[in-house]
Amino acid sequence: MRLWQDGIIALLASIGTATLLWAAVQALIFVPPRHQDAVVLVSARGDGEDLEAQVRALILMREDQRVVGEVLLVDCGLTEEGRTLCRLLSRQYRRVTLIAPEDIPKYVT
């Protein structure tokens, strides 16, 4: 019985050590870029059913990997309910903006 307990403790210790080493290597090697120049265009249509999930995934990518800069929700036929959802998302997240298709060149230059 003592052998099993020692084995489990050794396993947990090795997992913890590997996690700490991975965090140290990631902090040293994966330096985040200084500028967030990537602009993501999301086509928003209808009621914007999956729009919130897409925006949240992009926000997580920005926070975790610092890949995404500005998220532009392009109105490609939104209903009034969809526009309301886009406005709420743009208030909730700082770098999310609802734009008309003709405004794309202002952001992508």
pLDDT of 69-96, one tens digit each? 888 999 988 899 989 999 999 999 888 9
The whole-angstrom separation of Cα 49 and Cα 63 is 23
Is pLDDT at 64 greater than 80 in this prediction?
Answer: no
pTM across the whole model: 0.64
Tokens of 59: 């926000």
Is pLDDT at 104 greater than 80 in this prediction?
Answer: yes
Local confidence band at 36 (pLDDT 50, 70, 90 cut-offs): low
User: H or E element: which one contains 98?
Assistant: strand 96-99
Task: Identify whether the C-beta of residue 69 lies closer than 8 Å to the C-beta of residue 38.
Answer: yes
User: H or E element: which one contains 42?
Assistant: strand 39-46
